[in-house]
Amino acid sequence: MHRFNWIAVGVIVLALCLPSSASVGESKLDHPFVVLAWDASGDFGPETSGTTTAGWQEAVDCCVANGHDLYVKGGWGGRKAIYHVSDTIRIPATQDFRIDGGVYVVNWIGPPDDPAKDLMRIDSAMNAEYHFGIFVYGGAGAALRIQPENPVPIDGFPVVVETEIKSQGIADPSPFTPGERKPGTGLVLDGTKASIVNSRFDFVGGILNFKTCVEVKGGFAQNRFSCLHLHTNADNSTLFVLGPKASQNIVDLAIGVDMGAANVRGLAIHGRNNAFTIMTRGGFPGGNDVVLESTAAGNRIDLLHGGGSAPLAAVTDNADAASNQVTWVGGNLPIRTQPVPLGEHVYTQRLYPATVRVVGGEVSNVTLVRGSGAADCTSSCRDGVLMSVDDQLRVHSTAAPELQIIPFKVR
């Protein structure tokens, strides 16, 4: 928690919030929160005069003006508690603010092709708690965009920090219609203007059926992100993109492809030193459950796959660095052999540790290189050299040998 070591004391004259309709009666702000209700039982709602956000923006503005939290009414059955929104809901930079409520739907009925029109945008937040219902969005922007830009009111700088954001889920408006989706994103975590750090993001009910379901951009560090059902029936789509500046995050996902959707990527990892737990039920083209992109380095991926003898067939390693590591449930990987060209050859161990044996041929020198250190393994190379991820084995041969690679399961 960040606070200055002084307390500002002031007297502010607060304006009363107006009710959403005459049926609501007098202002109900004798309690410490504003009520947003779909059925005219609260302080704001779809009946609020002039609203384009079913009362959301007016309720948030009232909370800002009067120092209240917000409660959003949900309801049994999922058919009535719906807030139809045609303009972006904007939550300004804040500290010590809570949005709570039942389970409800925020449904986008605004422009379908305007990339500037998100369903909801969240600015900077410090020590905030946002617990949302379900977002349904068919636009070209983002259903939920978290982008710190303006300074928080007490500490005076832009950031998302020490904040918890939860949702029952994010979906496009055609959950059972297969086919390619137009541009549009479910969730954008955008730290390009200011960082998103030390916060928790939890999507219980899933994120599904967007061109890109989740995109992380800019500074995003030391956060915990979970989505218990990240899936799609959209052709040519990507479930999760983690940008190159994302580091030291813990990411917990269950991923899968619905209705035979074609050319779907699961995770595209560009960041460094992140830890992933990935449960995959498959449906992706080979090697597309997890893709390590060129800038990925130092990431640890625990893969809980649905079975089969080749769990790493779900992973594509395009990383420039060899420092990413994959662990998996189930049995071990098979032993494999790799030819060694005559002369000098450098073998680099990638993704998992292994014992590597030099078989056949004639070698003059074998050296294990780890970081800036090196060890002569010429006399023991026929018995096997235990190699960690990113280790190198430098082989000098006068008659070409083979390498026998015996994977070592660490979890």
Distances (CA, A) of 124 to 153, 156, 243, 278: 10, 10, 20, 29
Place of tokens 């080979």: 286
Q: Which of 89, 88, 102, 97 is nearest to 134 (CA)?
A: 102
Q: Hey, is 64 helix, strand or coil?
A: helix
CA–CA distance, 60 with 70 (Å, rounded to integer): 7
How many domains, in total, are found in the chain?
Answer: 3
Residue 10 lies in a domain: no
Same domain, 287 and 399: no
Q: Do 403 and 386 contact (CB within 8 A), yes or no?
A: no
Per DSSP, 189 falls in state: E
Per DSSP bridges, beta strands 373-376 and 362-370 are antiparallel
Distances (CA, A) of 312 to 174, 232, 354: 33, 22, 14
Same domain, 150 and 292: yes
Rounded to two decimals, the pTM is 0.91
Same domain, 294 and 394: no
Q: CB neighbours (10 Å) of residue 384?
A: 16
Q: Which of 280, 282, 284 is nearest to 328 (CA)?
A: 280
Same domain, 237 and 114: yes
Q: Do 200 and 164 contact (CB within 8 A), yes or no?
A: yes
Same domain, 181 and 300: yes
Residue 178 lies in a domain: yes
pLDDT digits (tens, 9 = 90+) for 27-64: 456 778 999 999 999 999 999 999 999 999 999 999 99
Q: Which of 396, 361, 360, 390 is nearest to 378 (CA)?
A: 396
Residue 346 lies in a domain: yes
Per DSSP, 122 falls in state: E
Element (H, E) at 56: helix 56-66
Residue 5 lies in a domain: no
Q: What is the pLDDT of residue 161?
A: 98
Same domain, 163 and 210: yes
Same domain, 137 and 209: yes
Residue 343 lies in a domain: yes
* pLDDT values of the chain reduced to their tens digit, one per residue, 411 residues: 555 443 333 333 233 344 444 333 334 567 789 999 999 999 999 999 999 999 999 999 999 999 999 999 999 988 999 999 999 999 999 999 999 999 999 999 999 999 999 999 999 999 999 999 999 999 999 999 999 999 999 999 999 999 999 999 999 999 889 999 999 999 999 999 999 999 999 999 899 999 999 999 999 999 999 999 999 999 999 999 999 999 999 999 999 999 999 999 999 999 999 999 999 999 999 999 999 999 999 999 999 987 665 788 999 999 999 999 999 998 889 999 999 999 999 999 999 999 999 999 999 999 999 999 999 999 999 999 999 999 999 999 999 999 999 999 887
Amino acid occupying residue 100: D
Q: Do 189 and 224 contact (CB within 8 A), yes or no?
A: no
Q: What is the pLDDT of residue 4?
A: 41
CA–CA distance, 382 with 77 (Å, rounded to integer): 67
Same domain, 139 and 245: yes
Q: Do 320 and 345 contact (CB within 8 A), yes or no?
A: no
Residue 270 lies in a domain: yes
Q: Which of 286, 312, 328 is the last residue of a domain?
A: 328
CATH number of the domain encompassing residue 365: 2.60.120
Q: In this structure, what token pair is assigned to residue 44?
A: 């704001």
Q: What is the pLDDT of residue 308?
A: 64
Same domain, 123 and 38: no
117: left (phi over 0), alpha (psi -120 to 50) or beta: beta
Contacts of residues 53-59 at CB distance under 8 Å and 24 or more positions apart, as own/partner, are: 53/83, 53/85, 53/86, 53/87, 53/88, 53/89, 54/83, 54/84, 54/85, 54/106, 55/20, 55/83, 56/83, 56/85, 56/89, 56/106, 57/87, 57/89, 57/90, 58/20, 59/34
Q: What is the pLDDT of residue 307?
A: 66
Q: Do 19 and 10 contact (CB within 8 A), yes or no?
A: no
Residue 225 lies in a domain: yes
Q: In this structure, what token pair is assigned to residue 174?
A: 């055609």
Same domain, 278 and 134: yes
Q: Which of 291, 307, 328 is the last residue of a domain?
A: 328
Q: Which of 39, 73, 107 is the last residue of a domain?
A: 73
Same domain, 64 and 80: no
Q: Could you tell me the residue range of the domain that residue 166 belongs to?
A: 76-84+91-328
Same domain, 241 and 353: no
Residue 87 has, within 13 A of its CA and on its CB side, a CA count of 11
Q: Do 127 and 96 contact (CB within 8 A), yes or no?
A: yes
Residue 8 lies in a domain: no
Element (H, E) at 59: helix 56-66
